[in-house]
Amino acid sequence: MKQIRIFDTTLRDGEQAPGCSMDLAEKIEIAQALERMKVDVIEAGFAIASQGDFISVQTIARTLKNCTVASLSRATVKDIDAAWEAVRDAKYPLIHTFLATSPTHMQYKLKMSEDEVLDAIAKMVAYARNLSPQVEFSAEDAMRSDPSFLAKAVDAAIRAGAQVINIPDTVGYATPAEMGEMIRYLKKSVENIDTVILSVHCHDDLGLAVANSLVAVMEGAGQVECTVNGIGERAGNAALEELVMAMHTRPDLYPVGCGIDTTRISPVSRLVYSILGVNAPINKAVVGQNAFAHEAGIHQHGVMANRATYEIMTPESIGLLQNRMVLGKHSGRHAVEERLSALGYTLEKEELDQLFTRFKELCDRKKTISDYDLEALAVHRLANVSDNTGYKLERFTVNSGNYVTSNAVMSLLHNGERLEEVAIGDGPIDAAFNAVDKLIPAPPHSLEDYNIQTISEGKDAQGEAMVKIRCGDRVITGRGLSTDVIEASILAYVNGMNKL
């Protein structure tokens, strides 16, 4: 059975989406989760974009051991050098270089002729190949390119040493029929195309990214480029979970395999959503809240009789466990560790020690701990780590009512010193945030978004608060978790201010 490579670009294309920036600890957490899910290639970033991007790509390259780590680069010597320096310490490094081939891009962005583009492809792919054992070339905006010129560009890249050729639908313009026709044309027109891995990278502007990618697989593509939850620029990319489960569920149409451990799909999806501070749409395919929910009586009756009546895949296949182990204050460390492992989390000893302490604290507030509670503790440990060198909430008092002005007394710890302030506001949250602003010196900023949701059911459910703080052109996400929604909100705001 032909194996399809899964190329994940959550940390590069996904992070380029507005409001989806991540810090280094969060990127490493996602990269390790992707590696455990057995993704073949992780595009860790765009090394030349900034010093922060370079460091994150380099750190991920040095951390991962079981998958290829790639950095994107434009087809220039400076970009390629930066990409190589960032990934050279990876066990399996890859330089991913690109140049546009569509008339629109060549005329208005590159201001280059066709001959100049072909010459640059040949020279820069050869230059990258002299540095890296693996090189991928992408013809940016391939699906709006003239097919005959695209074939020449692909041929030039192959002759220069590229082992992977990527055909992107950069602006999400193509239809499945056009994608299939383009792949067939290239396979027929490019002499040595069978010697390389043919890849596709589809955007979702018309909602066709997954469909276009699957058609390419049917026509012989050996790699699909995607992101967790489909995040990415504009409308996003082909969603990894949808691509993988389509191939997994319909082997009659896609007689191919991929190495993804599908039981880790749900935990990785929730990790990415949580880190970005957004919630999955309830009707999101595969990982949405309603993906395995049934309310209509006829559906419920059918599922109770036989799941196959209305479920084409099982919750267990994506990592949603049906059997629940009850955890509480009498549960031991080993039981917690085992449950975390079943949920897809592997923690270092120090991380587990800290999480178990928070688990015991939570047990004093809640009678039973659900999988969602435990998973939230695992995800939010990153926020706690990032706060270790910043400001930490010690205590707070908030007074509020419909006939009084809301006020908050806030006490934070910083470098062993207790800092305290009082502030008023339009409500308890506004007053609390105003008090934090008085205590933490920061550049001019504004609160762009705030939301809170319950992690599980019941009056004692944990609240997960998320804030987005804008500072210039940067948007920073802060996260907090507590059974007290005001405390969760303050923790989220302090976490975001620490990042700022």
Render pLDDT for 272-317 as a digit per residue (tens, 0 to 9): 998 887 888 889 999 887 877 655 555 555 656 676 777 788 888 8
Domain span holding position 364: 333-384
* DSSP bridge pairs for 6: 224
Rounded CA gap, 393 and 382, in Å? 16
In the structure encoding, which two tokens stand for residue 6, read together?
């899964």
- Residues 140-155: pLDDT tens digits? 999 999 999 999 999 9
**Using the 8-state DSSP alphabet, how is residue 237 labeled?**
B
* Predicted pLDDT at 323: 44
Q: Are residues 379 and 484 in the same domain?
A: no
Q: Which residue has the tokens 């909100």?
A: 489
In three-state secondary structure terms, 404 is strand
Domain annotation covers residue 103: yes
Q: Are residues 370 and 399 in the same domain?
A: no
Rounded CA gap, 159 and 208, in Å? 32
CATH number at residue 237: 3.20.20.70
In the structure encoding, which two tokens stand for residue 225, read together?
């480029």
Domain annotation covers residue 284: no
* Predicted pLDDT at 70: 98
Counting runs of H as helices and runs of E as strands, what totals does the chain give?
16, 16
Q: Are residues 370 and 394 in the same domain?
A: no
Q: Are residues 367 and 458 in the same domain?
A: no
Lowest mean pLDDT among 66-75, 78-87, 213-222, 368-377: 368-377
Q: Are residues 370 and 451 in the same domain?
A: no
* Number of structural domains the chain divides into: 4
Q: Which residue has the tokens 């802060």?
A: 478
Q: Are residues 151 and 209 in the same domain?
A: yes
In the structure encoding, which two tokens stand for residue 409, read together?
């007394």
Domain annotation covers residue 308: yes
Domain boundary among 362, 384, 406: 384
Where helices occur in 190-331 by DSSP H, the ranges are 209-218, 240-249, 265-276, 297-305
- CB atoms closer than 10 angstroms to residue 417: 7
Domain annotation covers residue 9: yes
Rounded CA gap, 64 and 154, in Å? 30
- Residues 221-237: pLDDT tens digits? 999 999 999 999 999 99
Q: What average pLDDT is seen over the chain?
A: 91
CATH number at residue 489: 3.30.160.270
Q: Are residues 304 and 398 in the same domain?
A: no
Is there a contact between 139 and 167 (Cβ–Cβ < 8 Å)? Answer: yes
CA-based nearest residue to 381, from 276, 480, 500? 480
Domain annotation covers residue 70: yes
Cβ neighbours of residue 263 closer than 8 Å, sequence gap 6 or more: 316, 317, 318, 319, 344
DSSP letters, 23-39, are -HHHHHHHHHHHHHTT-
**Using the 8-state DSSP alphabet, how is residue 262 labeled?**
G
Q: Are residues 350 and 493 in the same domain?
A: no
Q: Are residues 269 and 338 in the same domain?
A: no
Considering the entire predicted model, what is its pTM? 0.81
Q: Are residues 212 and 361 in the same domain?
A: no
- Residues 30-43: pLDDT tens digits? 999 999 999 999 99
Domain annotation covers residue 286: no
Rounded CA gap, 247 and 229, in Å? 16
Domain annotation covers residue 244: yes
Domain annotation covers residue 434: yes
Q: Are residues 205 and 237 in the same domain?
A: yes
Highest mean pLDDT pick, 84-93, 248-257, 368-377: 84-93
Q: Are residues 341 and 431 in the same domain?
A: no
Mean pLDDT computed over 348-358: 88
Is there a contact between 106 and 132 (Cβ–Cβ < 8 Å)? Answer: no
